[in-house]
Structure 1
Amino acid sequence: MISAFANTWRIPELRDRILFTLAMIIIVRLGVHITLPGVDGTVIKAYMDAQSKADPSNPAGGLNAMLAVFSGGGLQQAGVFALGIMPYISASIMIQLMTAVVPKLARLSREDGGRQKITQFTRYMTIVIALVQGFFVARTLTHPASMPYLSGIEKYGVLVRDQSMLWYALVTATVVAGTMLLMWIGDQITDRGIGNGTSVIITVNIVSSLPGALIQAWHFFVTGKDVSPFNSWKMLLMIVMLLVVIAGTIALTQAQRRIAVQYAKRVVGRKQFGGQTQYLPLKVNYAGVMPIIFATAVLSLPPMMLKWMFPTQKWSLKIYEALTGGGTWYYVLGAIFIFFFSYFWVATMFQPSQISEDLKRNGGYVPGVRPGKPTAEFLDFTMTRLTFAGAIFLTLIFILPVVVGAVVNLPPSSPVLHFFGGTSLLILVGVVLDVMRQVETHLIQKHYDGFLRKGKIKGRYDRLAQTGAAASKVALVYLWTVIAVLVVFGTAVWIYNRGH
């Protein structure tokens, strides 16, 4: 595996793609820290410094951690990328579900050039969603006490002094432009870099919160108040458990049921086609991370609305604490939603009838099953059982922070447990595996060994090919020169602020 990493720099095209992806990642992280116009950056800085020293057992960390997944801290920083890539993800999910439900969109997706039109619809819907969310972001900045991710910031000063309609329009337009820029960067990474651009941006946002979580864990278990030697062993136990959980998640993410498909022999002229056995892979976790994203989105919306509309009502505070503090009802409802969305996603995305017709048209059949409707029923029955196992797996990932938190005496919503389960862990594992598959494909094409000595990393190779050429060396030189100038300027500003 070490030699495979070394060989990546010996392939010019692969090296250029990696450098381009790294440059885009730096731009994404810089945009998070550029404060929106009209927002007092000194108040944000004082608040973030206090948050970095906060107790990791704070029960409000669960919602903050969820927001950090998609905004990368942009909401807390009141940055240009405050909305992150979430509007584009929401629009993509809505269009994808509508494609599976609306016959007209389903026919359009199968036509020549239809995918480009659907992509255009997705971008239009992204702008609409970003406009609505951008207005609410501006509204939140004027009333920060109503949102949990900015709770307590009023102690450090007035965040927004000018609250005119012009400022509302300016901030809304800025965050919408930031989302569109992130969407463009994601497309560029997909075409000219490594990995799926949108997934890479989300992964970078997740990883950006890892250093802060580690520092909080170190203070809580090693150098904090009333720390005993036994607490240090707890932190070591957490590290071991994290490695075990990651290994198990990788194994179950790649698990699949291989359905044998036999193709009939055909003789065309002097050549014989077919007669061989191929396999139709059905993933155990076919829905991926989508059920957890849907479940957490549904569970996070009511407490935010109640906190905004009924901030002082007792019943509202009880519901808020139950749904944000990791209460029993939060995980009961979450498990129910995960099961529902798992079957809903498979029902809308997995089409056994179409697969059966395609096999029949190409002369393929499942041994022991008649072609046509019986094959569709067999695939549907098999996928139903696999979905049940996948839903159990997702539910275990969802409640895993509760188990780990009970062992180390932390609430399940603590940011320290942010990487032990849920959306973050599945996205991290999935994106890392996809990037490794793409790198391995380049290595094997150039006659280098892959990451594994025997076999290949399992995955769907049909969606790994980039559609565009790698960025030119001149463009890379200009890009990294601009980044170097920005880094030097930022370092000088940081040194100046430290001296004063």
Structure 2
Amino acid sequence: MFETFRNAWKIADLRKKILYTLMVIVVFRIGAAIPVPFIDLEALKTLMGSMTGDTGLLGYFNIISGGGLEKATLFALSVTPYINASIIIQLLTVAIPPLERMAKEGEEGRKKIAKYTRYSTIVLGLIQAGAYYAYLYNSNIVKYNSGFDGVFTAIVIILTFTAGSALMMWLGEQINEKGIGNGISILLFAGIVSRGPSMVLQLVEYFKMGFEGQTQYFFIVPAIVVIFILIIAFIVLMTDAERRIPIQYAKRVVGRKVYGGQSTHMPIKVNMSGVLPIIFASSFLSIPSTIQMFVQAKEGFWKGFFDAFSTTGWLYGVLYFLLIIFFSYFYISIQYNPIEMANNLKKNNGAIPGIRPGKPTSDFIMKIISKVCLIGALFLGVVAILPIIFGAVTGIHGLSLGGTSILIVVGVAIETVRQIESQMLMRHYKGFLE
């Protein structure tokens, strides 16, 4: 990977794109350090003192925002509204025929869908900004919270959060046009990686506790480092893993020329859905945490309910694992159509050796996708709940980088390197000139 970046740096065009991407990341980090007005920062720091892990709702959003959420900064919402809007529009494209036809119209259709995604981002940004303001207001973090001053303060804070999310969306689009990699993914990557130093400091503090009589940390901290490296290797392995279905194209004669006859394959990625099932599952399980933000229950039914859905409890871990598997199959079912894939093969005179065209082919493809999806879902589930299991065993909770964060970071890094390599290949390919 480092060799790829070094070679890319030697090409002037790619060097400009890399520098532009780095400049946008710097702007993002500056915005993540500027707090919104009318906030009691000392009270906010006390309130958010325990928000360091990525298993809880606020902690997960805080990781994505690069620590901006716990400081109520301009980019506190980060790319969360855009990601949610993209997911909603993607699901509606499958469910609503006009949007489905629009998606198949080529470049013009994609531009219209992108426009709807932007509008949806603003709407979701307003909703999330309002919810976050309500949480800060109920926690007595907001200054000037009565009368006309309170209304003005609420409007300013909500619009500032919303403007920050819109600016994040615009920065991501600028990276897509003038930089390297997927813009939103790069900003997500930068936010998560920025929490790396805090994780190192946490481990150092735990290691120091070993000299204070708690000798078990002399073994736990190295174990964390080893597990961290193994998780990265496992994610890289599963990200590149695929099931190849052999395809044979029949020969056909057009005039005096013979076309086809070659053998190839149809790749089915093991991790076909990426991190979307984890996002879906965590969003679904965040409902109790969201309710708890507004309902202060110290005893009775609600206390037992919130304790049962605690992010460090076994019930949360089991439901998290099962929901990841469910949403993996759900996402694959709306993204992959075996019947359409079989029809495309038939139209191009292609066939799977030993399988008849038509329904037998679609059934075979569906069978393969189901098996591969199960492996990918189990992989995502294990990576997601590993921090929960590790915390239950060792008693260490709230590490700044967990399984989900590592999965996002590694995935974005691999995709960005591949894009750089493809652009380098295009610039060095001489084609028919030689």
TM beyond 0.5: yes
- What is the aligned counterpart of 1:116 among 111, 120, 123? 111
Maintained 8 Å contact 1:60/1:325: no
Maintained 8 Å contact 2:57/2:282: no
SS at match of 2:312: coil
Q: Quote the Cα distance in structure 1 between the aligned partners of 2:270 and 2:311.
A: 31
Q: Quote the Cα distance in structure 2 between the aligned partners of 1:367 and 1:337.
A: 36
Change (3 A) 1:29 1:224: farther
Q: For residue 133 of structure 2, what is the aligned residue in structure 1?
A: 138
Change (3 A) 1:14 1:444: same
Specify every segment of 5 or more residues in structure 1 that has no aligned partner in the other structure, as ranges: 145-153, 449-500
**CA deviation map 1:268-327 (0-9, x unaligned):** 334332111121110112111111111111111222213413434432222223323411
- What is the aligned counterpart of 1:244 among 224, 227, 230? 230
1:168 aligns with 2:150: no
Q: For residue 421 of structure 2, what is the aligned residue in structure 1?
A: 440
Bigger drift between 30-39 and 135-144 goes to 135-144
SS at match of 2:77: coil
Change (3 A) 1:406 1:134: closer
Maintained 8 Å contact 1:190/1:196: yes
- What is the aligned counterpart of 1:189 among 163, 175, 182? 175
Maintained 8 Å contact 1:134/1:172: yes
- What is the aligned counterpart of 2:66 among 41, 66, 72? 72
Q: Quote the Cα distance in structure 2 between the aligned partners of 1:296 and 1:204.
A: 21
**CA deviation map 1:213-270 (0-9, x unaligned):** 2212211222577344542232122111111111011101221101111112223334
Give the AA of the match of 1:351: N
Superposed displacement of residue 62, structure 1 = 3.6
Q: For residue 353 of structure 1, what is the aligned residue in structure 2?
A: 339
SS at match of 1:339: helix
**CA deviation map 1:398-447 (0-9, x unaligned):** 2211343355x224xx222x5341x2122111101101101222333344
TM-score (norm 2): 0.91
Q: Quote the Cα distance in structure 1 between the aligned partners of 2:282 and 2:320.
A: 7
Give the AA of the match of 2:92: M
Q: Quote the Cα distance in structure 1 between the aligned partners of 2:409 and 2:82.
A: 19
Maintained 8 Å contact 2:57/2:289: no
Superposed displacement of residue 375, structure 1 = 1.5
* Identical-pair percentage: 38
SS at match of 1:258: strand
SS at match of 1:267: strand
Give the AA of the match of 1:160: K
Maintained 8 Å contact 1:284/1:387: yes
Superposed, 1:73-472 pairs within 5 Å as 73-112=67-106, 113-144=108-139, 159-163=142-146, 164-223=150-209, 226-406=212-392, 409-411=394-396, 414-416=397-399, 418-421=400-403, 423-447=404-428
Give the AA of the match of 1:419: L
Q: Quote the Cα distance in structure 2 between the aligned partners of 1:11 and 1:227.
A: 55
Q: Quote the Cα distance in structure 2 between the aligned partners of 1:172 and 1:65.
A: 20
Give the AA of the match of 2:395: L
Superposed displacement of residue 135, structure 1 = 1.4
TM-score (norm 1): 0.79
Q: Quote the Cα distance in structure 1 between the aligned partners of 2:8 and 2:98.
A: 44
Superposed displacement of residue 60, structure 1 = 9.8
Q: For residue 7 of structure 2, what is the aligned residue in structure 1?
A: 7
Q: For residue 34 of structure 2, what is the aligned residue in structure 1?
A: 34
Maintained 8 Å contact 2:56/2:286: no
Change (3 A) 1:14 1:343: same
Give the AA of the match of 1:29: R
Specify every segment of 5 or more residues in structure 2 that has no aligned partner in the other structure, as ranges: 430-434
